[in-house]
Amino acid sequence: MSLKTVYDADNIFAKIIKGVIPCVKIAETGDTLAFMDVFPQSEGHCLVVHKNIQATNLLDINADDLTVLMNAVQRIAAGVNDGLEPDGIRIAQFNGAPAGQTVFHLHFHIIPVYEGRALASHASGGPADTAILEPTAAKIRAAL
């Protein structure tokens, strides 16, 4: 899918936002949702989405909505930092399938990096057990 992909209202993140598919939620506002990535690259890998837009990528969102989304990304990254104490944090966002985008609803990855631990590949492996993700999410929530 290219950068000109038409938004699909049935994408997995839209279904998560609607509550059709469950997620391990970290935080939610009227405009944003942060939840654990079920294909984590590291312990604490989470995603932040805007709930009220139909943007497939960074080029589709208006500046005001992007500001709201980026404020949420910063807040959740601070919670990851305080709750998990990683050695670094990677913020990632992919635009178009050739760039690595797999879900065509604009989203940001917050990926904690720990010295001496390799990151898993993006969108690889099988889905993580939510019972394993929940305690990590609880640490992030407590730090917010």
Q: Where are the domains of the chain?
A: 12-143
Report pLDDT for 69: 98
12-143 CATH, one of 3.40.190.10, 3.30.428.10, 1.10.540.10, 1.10.287.810: 3.30.428.10
Structure tokens at 101: 């985008």
pLDDT average, residue stretch 115-129: 92
Q: Is the pLDDT confidence value at 110 over 80?
A: yes
Distance CA 54, CA 52 (A): 7
The amino acid present at 104, given as its one-letter code, is F
The amino acid present at 74, given as its one-letter code, is Q
Structure tokens at 28: 């939610």
pLDDT average, residue stretch 62-68: 98
Distance CA 85, CA 43 (A): 11
Contact call for residues 65 and 48 (beta carbons, < 8 A): no
Tens-place pLDDT, residues 44-60: 999 999 999 999 999 99
Structure tokens at 52: 């009220």
Q: Is the pLDDT confidence value at 40 over 80?
A: yes
User: What amino acid positions are annotated as catalytic residues?
Assistant: 107
Count the neighbouring beta carbons within 10 Å of the beta carbon of residue 13: 20
Q: Residue 45: helix, strand or coil by DSSP?
A: coil
Report pLDDT for 1: 66
Specify the residue for token string 């805007």.
Answer: 50
Distance CA 61, CA 89 (A): 24
Contact call for residues 60 and 106 (beta carbons, < 8 A): yes
